[in-house]
């Protein structure tokens, strides 16, 4: 009975320790792919271990009464499952090791191959053990007898665990940090399981392997728990640092509205906002009436409704909004950031006082207005420029004003004595090498003077490279009204270029769809007419057109199928015919020019192999004819002869005649098969 108690305790301990791992089948969204793989395999190992403990518990209980004949079949079956589950724990544990260490090299493949081989052999021996005892047997008194195969199986497992243990500790010596701890944990677990396997060999009456198994599980659990604890500390530290940037943070249950406040600022204690509540949505509406600036109340009320918050988060990680809150009778600007928690069941709302930043930004804008010469720059305000250069027309001295930083580390907020000379230096630093000559020729004082003689402005498009990324920009130059200065404006036109490309792509897609047969997906008659015209133009212009051949095909029995089986069956017949042609002539375009008519244009490799390909097609048609399944396609092929052919239609007509010749032959054969 003590045997069974130990296995039962191991089962209970495993269920307690790994309850969450066993219950939570779905992986967490934040887990890496390798972590998900380990958890899945480790869960399999734990489940198999539980079944092993149950079977081991049953074995100990049943063996107490092995002399009862009625229980012997159950005892024998339990013994079979005992060995089966032992081998499965070995297999699932080794697969877990590979996933745990995230190794995909040759050694891992060899390890898995060896384990699968051992497991497969063990299954085979277990199946034949009933007829030829090799692993275990029972004598006439139903007493358990160990056979040589049992010792061999145990020794092979011991060798496997021993090699794995030595290798893990060896690698641990050369590793650091988390990797070192992982190798040690795996090595120690394998050592424990190995030790108790040895004990199991000497005394089958004690559940040594079950003991080693649960100790190994405890070792792994302790390491995983320590890792999770450390990870939680890191997350807590990050969360604390982030919370310091907010006056308050709220954790809100989306469905019920229950919430807690996790970070508060002492200077807002006078507002008496509760740190916890039952309904965030209702209580917030009341607080808005009390504390929000009157002009912002309606705006704020709508933003704190559950439906609005969910709608604004759709397809986003977070969103922000601003309004004013009255603090001690004075309005202060606040920014609110709403995020969705990882569990998808809570909102995280951050509340930040941005009054100081708002005031500083307004002061900066006011100072900028004082320093910038808006009279001259006003002429180009209709265009959204990223950088503006104000250049003296006489001595080329300049001042630059940067609006948006797309130039990487290059400081463009500067002044200089010679805009044109400095530009040549800047061109070598940031302009795409293929556009440098173009821009150098444009930023030439003589060219600018000449270009602006009879025009208000001139521009050039080019590319710049920043942070290893290419951007399209446009430089526009014009003169001030008093002709004393040039104004160079540079704008990012990435979106404009992208839209142009998308427009062209859409046009090309539309044109391509207009050239496709809707039923079969091959090219249609419009596409064939365009190809024929292109070839004819080349022939008419005296060009030596590439050698080509045309194959004209006609699908037999389509009308009969439509009349007897319906048009749906007829459509399927046409599609199968098109597929046969496409699969045979893989390098040639296929055109459907009529209900049951196809044309193929052969050039290149297909032209060189045209005789083999037409024979292959007709051979398949013959097979379809004999088996009365698959499409029956009549075909005719002819080559373009530059010496005699002046029209593409001449080539087509010859192929058409060949097709009708083949069609008559197929009809004749079909009639013979009917008779």
Query: pLDDT confidence of 380, banded at 50, 70, 90?
Result: very low
Output the domain CATH number for residue 586: 3.30.70.270
Of 260, 227, 9, the closest CA to residue 1 belongs to 9
Residues 178, 222: one domain? yes
Tokens describing residue 308: 């609005």
Position 503 in a domain: no
- Do residue 400 and residue 308 come from a single domain? no
Q: Is 600 in contact with 553 (CB distance < 8 Å)?
A: yes
Question: Is there a single domain that holds both residue 318 and residue 452?
Answer: no
Residue corresponding to tokens 């219950």 = 23
Q: Provide φ and ψ at 383, rounded to 5°.
A: -110, 135
Residues 6+ apart with CB under 8 A from 136: 79, 83, 129, 144, 145, 146, 147, 149, 150
Q: Residue 432 sits in a domain of what CATH number? A: 3.30.450
Sorting pLDDT into bands at 50, 70 and 90, what band is 29? very low
Question: 165-174, 258-267, 356-365, 575-584: which has the highest mean pLDDT?
Answer: 575-584
Domain membership of residue 310 as a residue range: 245-265+272-359
Q: What is the mean predicted confidence (pLDDT) over 242-256?
A: 79
Is 525 domain-assigned?
Answer: yes
Q: What DSSP assignment string belongs to 74-88?
A: HHHHHHHHHHHHHHH
**3-class SS string, 565-594:** HCHHHHHHHHHHHHHHHHHHCCCCCEEECC
Q: Is residue 364 included in any domain, yes or no?
A: no
Q: CA dist 639 to 587, 592, 612, 634, Å?
A: 17, 20, 14, 18
State both tokens at 381.
């305000």
Q: How many domains does the chain have?
A: 4
In a domain, residue 604? The reply is yes
Whether 183 and 204 map to the same domain: the answer is yes
pLDDT digits (tens, 9 = 90+) for 308-341: 999 888 888 889 999 998 888 889 888 889 988 8
Burial of 207 from C-beta contacts in 10 A (0-12 / 13-18 / 19+): buried
- The reply to whether 547 and 647 lie within a common domain is yes
> What span, in angstroms and rounded, lies between the C-alpha atoms of 475 and 328?
51
User: In DSSP terms, which residues pair with 258 in a beta bridge?
Assistant: none
The two three-digit tokens of residue 278, written as one number = 């039952």
Using 50, 70 and 90 to split pLDDT, how confident is the model at 375? very low
User: Do 480 and 519 share a structural domain?
Assistant: no
Same domain flag for 474 and 560: no
> Residue 237: its pLDDT value, please?
63
Same domain, 553 and 591: yes
Structure tokens at 312: 């604004």
Residues 377 and 352 occupy one common structural domain:
no
Instruction: Give the residue among 249, 85, 39, 66 at the shortest CA–CA distance from 143.
Output: 66
Q: What is the pLDDT of residue 509?
A: 59
Going 467 to 473 to 477 to 480, the CA torsion angle's sign is negative
Collapsing DSSP states into helix, strand and coil, what is residue 323? Answer: strand
CATH code for the domain of 48: 1.20.1070
Shared domain for 215 and 138, answered yes or no, is yes
Q: Say yes or no: 410 and 447 in one domain.
A: yes
- Single pTM value for the model: 0.42
One domain, residues 424 and 295: no
Is residue 505 assigned to a domain?
A: no
Helices marked H in 244-319 — which ranges? 280-291, 297-303, 306-313
Q: For position 252, which CATH number holds?
A: 3.30.450.20
DSSP code for 326? E
The confidence score (pLDDT) of residue 400 equals 85
Q: Give the per-residue pLDDT at 656.
A: 96
Q: Any residues with CB less than 8 A from the CB of 629 and at least 6 apart, and which?
A: none
């Amino acid at each position: 009975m003590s045997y069974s108690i130990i296995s039962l305790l191991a089962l209970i301990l495993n269920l307690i320790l790994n309850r969450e791992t066993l219950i939570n089948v779905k992986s967490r969204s934040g887990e890496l792919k390798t972590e998900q793989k380990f958890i899945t395999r480790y869960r399999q190992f734990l489940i198999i271990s539980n079944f092993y403990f149950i079977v081991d518990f049953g074995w100990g209980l049943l063996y107490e009464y092995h002399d009862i004949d009625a229980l012997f079949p159950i005892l024998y079956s339990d013994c079979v499952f005992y060995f089966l589950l032992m081998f499965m724990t070995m297999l699932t544990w080794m697969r877990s090791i590979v996933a745990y260490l995230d190794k995909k090299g040759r050694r891992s493949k060899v390890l898995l191959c060896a384990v699968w081989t051992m497991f497969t052999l063990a299954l085979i021996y277990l199946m034949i053990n009933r007829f030829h005892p090799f692993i275990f047997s029972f004598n006439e008194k139903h007493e358990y007898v160990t056979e040589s195969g049992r010792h061999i199986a145990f020794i092979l497992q011991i060798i496997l665990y021993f090699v794995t243990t030595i290798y893990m500790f060896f690698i641990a010596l050369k590793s650091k940090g988390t990797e070192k701890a992982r190798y040690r944990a795996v090595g120690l677990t394998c050592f424990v399981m190995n030790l108790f396997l040895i004990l199991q060999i000497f005394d089958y009456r004690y559940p040594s392997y079950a003991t080693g198994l649960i100790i190994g599980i405890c070792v792994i659990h302790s390491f995983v728990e320590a890792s999770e604890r450390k990870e939680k500390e890191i997350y807590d530290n990050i969360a604390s640092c982030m919370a310091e940037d907010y006056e308050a943070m709220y954790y809100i249950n989306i469905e019920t509205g229950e919430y807690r406040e996790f970070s508060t600022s002492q200077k807002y204690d006078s507002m008496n906002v509760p740190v916890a509540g039952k309904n965030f949505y209702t209580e917030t509406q009341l607080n808005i009436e009390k504390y929000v600036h009157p002009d912002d109340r309606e705006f704020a009320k709508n933003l704190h409704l559950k439906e609005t918050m969910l709608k604004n988060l759709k397809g986003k990680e977070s969103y922000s909004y601003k309004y004013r809150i009255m603090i001690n009778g004075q309005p202060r600007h606040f920014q609110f950031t709403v995020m969705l928690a990882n569990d998808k069941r809570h909102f995280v709302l951050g509340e930040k006082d941005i009054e100081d930043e708002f005031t500083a930004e307004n002061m900066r804008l006011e100072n900028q207005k004082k320093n910038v010469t808006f009279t001259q720059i006003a002429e180009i305000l209709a265009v959204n420029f990223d950088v503006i250069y104000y250049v003296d027309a006489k001595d080329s001295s300049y001042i630059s004003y940067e609006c948006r930083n797309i130039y990487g580390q290059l400081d463009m907020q500067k002044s200089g004595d010679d805009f044109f000379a400095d530009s040549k230096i800047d061109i070598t630093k940031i302009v795409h090498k293929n556009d440098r000559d173009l821009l150098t020729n444009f930023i030439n004082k003589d060219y600018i003077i000449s270009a602006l003689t009879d025009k208000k402005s001139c521009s050039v498009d080019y590319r710049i490279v920043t942070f290893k990324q290419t951007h399209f920009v446009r430089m526009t130059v014009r003169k001030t009204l008093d002709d004393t200065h040039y104004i160079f404006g540079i704008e990012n036109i990435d979106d404009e270029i992208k839209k142009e490309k998308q427009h062209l792509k859409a046009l090309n897609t539309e044109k391509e769809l207009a050239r496709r047969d809707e039923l079969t997906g091959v090219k249609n008659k419009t596409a064939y007419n365009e190809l024929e015209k292109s070839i004819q133009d080349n022939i008419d212009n005296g060009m030596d057109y590439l050698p080509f051949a045309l194959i004209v095909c006609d699908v037999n029995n389509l009308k009969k199928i439509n009349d007897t089986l319906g048009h749906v069956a007829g459509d399927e017949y046409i599609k199968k015919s098109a597929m046969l042609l496409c699969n045979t002539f893989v390098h040639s375009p296929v055109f459907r020019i009529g209900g049951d008519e196809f044309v193929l244009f052969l050039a290149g490799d297909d032209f060189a192999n045209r005789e083999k390909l037409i024979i292959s097609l007709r051979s398949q048609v013959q097979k379809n004819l004999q088996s009365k399944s698959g499409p029956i396609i009549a075909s005719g092929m002819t080559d373009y002869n530059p010496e005699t052919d002046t029209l593409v239609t001449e080539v087509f007509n010859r192929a058409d005649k060949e097709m009708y010749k083949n069609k008559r032959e197929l009809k004749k054969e079909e009639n013979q098969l009917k008779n």
